[in-house]
Amino acid sequence: MVAHIIHPIPLVIRGRPMSQSVYRMDTSLGPISVIGVFVWYIEGPKEKIIVDSGMTSEAYQKAGRTGHTHVQTLQEGLAKYGLKPSDIDIVLQTHLHIDHITLAAEFTKAKFVVQQAELDYQRNPPPPPVDPGPFNKELLNTLNWEVVRGDTTIVNGIKLLFTPGHTPGGQSVAVETAKGLAIIDSLCTTDSNWDVPAALKQKFEIFCPGIHNDPVQAYESLIRIKRMADIKVPIHEIRFAFVDKIP
């Protein structure tokens, strides 16, 4: 077994309504959810792999969104591990919303792995507010895509899991580590989706994401991750902004 290490690289911290994090449970959990926007560097023996391309505070501002705080640049975050964006071999795109794809052009030598269903959908998404869509649709035609369908092994110890629901072609990233299988989810969760209060556990095993294309698919995808993962890595969980490595 190859034991990888996941390094969270936070770029932006922002607040959003709790209703965007958990479906129909915001009155139980509070009005606001504070989230992190990350790229994730997977340290392994050979290929240099990251999960998602990231977002900037400036891009949020241009998109008319408020309540965001700059943490560091992509270049600063990668430099902590002796890397530049041009050093990255593979970018695993969990999905193609703006906070996950905006900085893709920085990775000039990488191939971008995406589900066929995701690329098809985001090239012709429904209008907002049905779906926030990609930040720049033209960007989708400039990247070096490797298109996959369903669960796919990327390298020894790293596998993509088809986990739709937040978007039609979401894919989570399963990573073998020294302490078991860690899964970075594609459904834009935080700990609030997984940590159901004791008073509600008889009714709910997890909470569906508040933003979803299909709530049943989203719920089923999270249940699949829960069954498989030794270590759950909610992709927007703010506590990872203060963590250097997983595990």
Confidence of residue 130 (pLDDT cuts 50, 70, 90): low
| Greatest alpha-carbon span in the chain | 50
Please tell me the predicted confidence (pLDDT) of residue 109.
98
Q: How far apart are the first and last CA of the chain?
A: 15
Domain 7-242 carries which CATH code? 3.60.15.10
Handedness of CA 55, 58, 63, 69 (dihedral sign): positive
Give the SS3 label for residue 116: helix
* pLDDT(134) > 80: no
φ/ψ (deg, to 5) at 155: -145, 175
Is 80 exceeded by the pLDDT of residue 128? no
User: What percentage of the chain has pLDDT greater than the value 70?
Assistant: 97
Instruction: Judge whether residue 74 has pLDDT over 90.
Output: yes
Q: Kindly report the average pLDDT of the chain as a whole number.
A: 94
Could you tell me the strand order of the sheet in which 158-162 lies? 152-155, 158-162, 171-177, 180-184, 231-233
For the stretch 99-114, pLDDT in tens is 999 999 999 999 999 9
| Residue spans per domain, the chain | 7-242
Asked if 41 contacts 233 with a C-beta cutoff of 8 angstroms, the reply is no
Residue 151 to residue 216: CA distance in whole angstroms: 19
CA atoms in the 13 A half-sphere facing the CB of 122: 29
